[in-house]
Amino acid sequence: MSKSHASGKTQEYLERYVEGVTKRNPGEPEFVQAVYEVASTIFPYIADKPQYHEMQILERMAEPERVISFRVPWTDNEGRIRTNRGWRVQFNSAIGPYKGGIRFHPSVNQSILKFLGFEQTFKNSLTGLPMGGGKGGANFNPKGKTDNEVMSFCQSFITELYRHIGEDTDIPAGDIGVGGREIGYMFGQYKRITNRFVGVLTGKGLEFGGSKMRTEATGYGAIFFLRNMLEHMGSGMEGKKVLVSGSGNVATHAAEKVTQLGGKALTLSDSGGIIHCADGFTQEQIDWIKDLKGLRRGRISEAADEFGNITFHEGIRPWGIEADFATPCATQNEINGDDAATMLKNGIKAVAEGANMPSEQAAVDAFQDAKILFGPAKAVNAGGVGVSGLEMSQNSARISWGTDQLRDLLENMMKDIHDSCAQFGTEKGGHVNYLAGSNIAGFVKVADAMLAYGHVQADRQNAQFKGVATHMWQRPCSFGRQD
């Protein structure tokens, strides 16, 4: 087991808890990793708070309220019937309807979607908006597919999923492999089936209920959070070099905001390799890459053919390049322990996770031990779901807010998230443990809501707690028991 923030008896209880999670979720390493990362910071915080142990809050939080799995048959351009598997993980609705993206990628499986739904619960709590956590997707690869094939798949996917979602129940959005095109196909099919025009999906086009600033929100929000961390320590973005991975909406808008704030975004990437611009990308180059990846669906290597000061490096990630800060925006577990050691050796002073869980546990431990500024994904990339929540509000009120108003709301939201993390994560000496701070801040709101609801109980006698323990290690951990 990787190093945790707990010690002594708390560590023993944590290990029993994670052992139970592992037994109940065999073959799901991503989900177990996500639960461990959260639990390792929560257990020390709740050690002297018996109400959370009596009601088994963490045990209940690690179990989704509902997991839906279904087949998705569709027809390709040759008329052949193809079949994929779809899921929706409705993880926790304690503070609002389920909210979280849909991911189309061949790597999608139940473990990844449960990890994402678990993380989403805490992320949505941090925004301050009434949204629970969920996630969905399919092991479908949209790359290389025609528009008609993608449309066929999206319509089949939503034909099953529509019965499980609703504007007050579960509101999906986009994620990897699901952009404006896919959201449009799915919303259109939902409207045909139900004969209702409601805000059941976010990330929609502006023509049919979408919100301004939604496309930019995750990437911009990540850099706003990075700026907040720097300003909290008396530093800034001006003239600083930033490594960015990925080349989708999050990465390109993160690079754009770095440039707007006076920094230099040095890298972008896709599965083929990285592009590097030693001078930092210009706005013209970023706009060209947005068009390349978002409309023409080309490869990042093409940017090196277009611009003389950009080089392409096949089959590598950007973490070996010297810079001041890093913003991983590609996918989960893209930074391993060796990458983290290289980054620290090269002088990286801050890491802001734009993607979901992009750092392996060994990398997280390395960043934490080095006491650099480490902004975890659930806080850093919460701007995307935050503006999705604002899209829900606009849909419910049948109004549309302007770009300037939404940008201000996004900036203020990221500042509030940063301040909540600092409130719960400031250690002796002034260093802010943003990992612990974000986990605790997200946990408290959800946990207190779950306490307020009580729990389902068939036998009233079970409600009589005799000799209630005052510390968690005095109570048995029931997670993983088979009786």
pLDDT score recorded for residue 9: 81
Residue spans of beta strands (DSSP E) within 218-372 = 241-244, 264-265, 267-270, 273-276, 311-314, 325-327, 350-352
Q: CB under 8 Å to 129, separation ≥6 — which residues?
A: 96, 386, 389, 390
CA 343 → CA 252, 338, 340, 354, distances in Å?
A: 21, 9, 5, 17
Q: CB–CB of 383/413 below 8 Å?
A: yes
CA dist 10 and 413 (Å) reads 33
- Unique residue bearing structure tokens 């040759």: 78
Backbone angles phi, psi at 324, to 5 degrees: -90, -40
Q: What is the pLDDT of residue 314?
A: 97
Percent of the chain with pLDDT over 90: 89
pLDDT at residue 298 is higher than 60: yes
Q: What is the pLDDT of residues 226-260, one digit of tens each?
A: 999 999 999 999 999 999 999 999 999 999 999 99
Comparing CA positions, the residue from 420, 220, 245 lying closest to residue 334 is: 245
Instruction: Give the position of tokens 């990285």.
Output: 274
Match 């196909």 to its residue by tokens.
185
Report all structural domains of the chain as residue ranges with CATH numbers, in order of start. 10-198+431-483 (3.40.50.10860), 215-382 (3.40.50.720)
Separation of alpha carbons 479 and 258, rounded Å: 44
Grade residue 467 by pLDDT with cuts at 50, 70 and 90.
very low
Q: Are 121 and 132 in contact (CB under 8 A)?
A: yes
The yes-or-no verdict on residue 479 having pLDDT over 60 is: no
240 is catalytic: no
Provide the pLDDT for residue 10.
84
**β-pair partners for 185:** none
CA pair distance 295, 253, nearest whole angstrom: 15
> What is the tally of helices (H) and strands (E) in the chain?
17, 13
Q: Which amino acid is at 456?
A: V
Q: Is 239 left (phi over 0), alpha (psi -120 to 50) or beta?
A: left
SS3 412: helix
Residue with tokens 């301050």, as numbered in its chain: 128
Whether 364 and 37 have beta carbons less than 8 Å apart is answered as yes
> Annotated catalytic residue: which of 135, 212, 241, 293?
135
pLDDT digits 0-9 by tens, 184-200: 999 999 999 999 999 99
**133-188 pLDDT per residue, tens:** 999 999 999 999 999 999 999 999 999 999 999 999 999 999 999 999 999 999 99
Q: What's the DSSP call for residue 359?
A: B
Task: Look at residue 38 in the predicted model and tell me its pLDDT.
Answer: 94
Determine which helix (DSSP H) or strand (DSSP E) holds 311, and give its type and residue range: strand 311-314
User: Could you tell me if 41 and 442 are in contact, meaning their C-beta atoms sit under 8 angstroms apart?
Assistant: no
Is the model's pLDDT at 474 over the cut of 70?
no
Average pLDDT, the chain: 93
Instruction: Look at residue 34 and tell me whether its pLDDT is greater than 50.
Output: yes
Q: Which amino acid is at 309?
A: N
The residue with tokens 């979280």 is: 100
How do residues 59-91 score in pLDDT, each as one tens digit? 999 999 999 999 999 999 999 999 999 999 999
Structure tokens at 109: 């499986």
d(CA 128, CA 382): 11
Determine which helix (DSSP H) or strand (DSSP E) holds 453, and give its type and residue range.
helix 434-453
- pLDDT at site 67: 98
Structure tokens belonging to residue 221? 């929000």
| DSSP designation for 406 | H
3-state SS of the chain: helix, strand, coil percent to 5? Answer: 50, 15, 35
**Rounded distance between C-alpha atoms, residue 427 and residue 374, angstroms:** 14
d(CA 281, CA 295): 20
Contact 106, 122 (CB under 8 A): no
For the chain, the C-alpha Rg in angstroms (whole number) is: 22
Tell me the pLDDT tens digit for each residue of 325-346. 999 999 989 999 999 999 999 9
> Based on the number of CB atoms within 10 Å of its own CB, is 160 exposed (0-12), middle (13-18) or buried (19 or more)?
middle
pLDDT more than 70, % of the chain: 93
